[in-house]
Amino acid sequence: MPVIGLDLGGTKLAAAILGEDGAIIHRAQAALEGRGGEAVGRLMTDHLAELLAYGRGHDLAIGAVGVSVPGIYHCEAGTVWAPNIPGWESYPLRDLLRAHAGVGVALAIDSDRACSIRGEAARGAALGCAHAIFLAVGTGIGAGILVGGEVLRGAHDIAGAVGWMALDRPYRAEYEACGCFESRASGAGIARQARRRLAESPDHDGPLRRIDPARLTAQDVFAASDQGDPLAEAVLADAVACWGMAVANLVSLFNPEAVVFGGGLFGPAARLLDRIVTEARRWAQPVSIQRVAIRVTALGPEACLYGTGQLALEALRTADSLRG
């Protein structure tokens, strides 16, 4: 029985109908365009209605809906905290979608990082793994953690918030907003570190100096590094060290079969993977690090969308077993 997946990000909504094998049958996408609060909810219900209508028109009986959100889904309350969507501090998404999904259609919601590891384990770089980690590195940093074939949620649905991983000392005030790891090695963090180094190096005259600091992005840092800018290279070397230490900590803690890098920075940071692996091997439990595969996503930006399909299929199987 086919299912629907809704992948809500900070800037767009991706949606699809997926088959029982997890392959995409039909897809749609819309930009959030500054929407917040109820307007984002309406965008989701509108796309859900369109996909349900498409299914009816093509003789596809939709059995379940899987939804990913860019933040924390509180499964007991059915609410979402999404820091990049105004008005979504405790948004009642489950009740909204249940009212529009239709009778007999199962519904499941989870974080984007949790859906991404589902997608990679089903169809991507962690194919067939029961123990795997998806390290999402974009504007922020988070991890989807698969243990024994189950996504690790934690006591309060916050497991995987690895942007707060402590990788340095002494503590800096800049870590208060998003954590040490995210402050140093996310997309926003890399841009922030480049601005800081530029301010501390008034004599620097590389390509980064010719960019307005207020507009400087991580992509600019990668481009400047390609041009031999030593300041950009230093910023990325620090990020590599942080990525490597984070992998080492995760491998030592969870002993996974695979660690998969994804998100907007991988991407351009994929070329740094060998350096990240070398750094990880310096810090990690030696037997575990030799037996883990460290890879870049095989599904790119669609890892999460495919994961929403897997989430929906899980919900469908659960509903079928309860009915049986």
Could you tell me the CATH number of the domain that includes residue 147? 3.30.420.40
Whole domain around residue 62: which residue ranges? 3-111
Query: Cβ distance 259 to 295 under 8 Å?
Result: yes
Examine the domain organization and report whether 16 and 161 are in the same domain.
no
Among 67, 82, 111, which residue terminates a domain?
Answer: 111
Among 81, 111, 141, which residue terminates a domain?
Answer: 111
Examine the domain organization and report whether 133 and 213 are in the same domain.
yes
In a domain, 276, yes or no: yes
Residue 319 has a pLDDT of 80
Examine the domain organization and report whether 232 and 277 are in the same domain.
yes
Query: Cβ distance 238 to 221 under 8 Å?
Result: no
Distance between CA atoms of 206 and 233, rounded to whole angstroms?
11
Residue 46 phi, psi dihedral angles, 5° rounding: -65, -45
Decide the pairing of beta strands 106-111 and 64-69.
Answer: parallel
Examine the domain organization and report whether 138 and 234 are in the same domain.
yes
In a domain, 324, yes or no: no
Examine the domain organization and report whether 276 and 130 are in the same domain.
yes
Residue 221 phi, psi dihedral angles, 5° rounding: -65, -45
Residue 181, SS3 per DSSP: helix
Among 77, 111, 145, which residue terminates a domain?
Answer: 111
Examine the domain organization and report whether 44 and 162 are in the same domain.
no
In a domain, 131, yes or no: yes
In a domain, 81, yes or no: yes
In a domain, 315, yes or no: no
Examine the domain organization and report whether 79 and 156 are in the same domain.
no
From first to last of the 324 residues of the chain, give the pLDDT tens digit. 999 999 999 899 999 999 999 999 999 999 999 999 999 999 999 999 999 999 999 999 999 999 999 999 999 999 999 988 999 999 999 999 999 998 899 999 999 999 999 999 999 999 999 999 999 999 899 999 999 999 999 999 999 999 999 999 999 999 999 999 999 999 999 999 999 999 999 999 999 999 999 999 999 999 999 999 999 999 999 999 999 999 999 999 999 999 999 999 999 999 999 999 999 999 999 999 999 999 999 999 999 999 999 999 999 998 876 665
- Say which residues have a Cβ less than 8 Å from residue 81's Cβ, sequence separation at least 6: 71, 72, 74, 88, 89, 90, 91
Examine the domain organization and report whether 86 and 129 are in the same domain.
no
Examine the domain organization and report whether 45 and 191 are in the same domain.
no
Closest residue by Cα to residue 1 from 20, 23, 24, 17: 20
Examine the domain organization and report whether 28 and 171 are in the same domain.
no
Number of domains into which the chain is organized: 2
Examine the domain organization and report whether 183 and 93 are in the same domain.
no
Peptide bond into 170 cis (omega under 30): yes
Mark residue 36 as left, alpha or beta (left: phi above 0; alpha: psi -120 to 50; beta: remaining).
Answer: beta
Mark residue 37 as left, alpha or beta (left: phi above 0; alpha: psi -120 to 50; beta: remaining).
Answer: left
Q: To which H or E segment does residue 268 belong?
A: none
- Residue entry with tokens 């003789």: 59
Residue 59 has a pLDDT of 95
In a domain, 120, yes or no: no
In a domain, 307, yes or no: no
How many C-alpha atoms does 39 have within 13 Å on its Cβ side? 11
In a domain, 231, yes or no: yes
Tell me the longest C-alpha to C-alpha distance in the chain.
Answer: 72
Q: What is the CA radius of gyration of the chain?
A: 20
Query: Cβ distance 140 to 125 under 8 Å?
Result: no
Closest residue by Cα to residue 310 from 61, 75, 19: 19
DSSP state of 299: S
Mark residue 300 as left, alpha or beta (left: phi above 0; alpha: psi -120 to 50; beta: remaining).
Answer: left
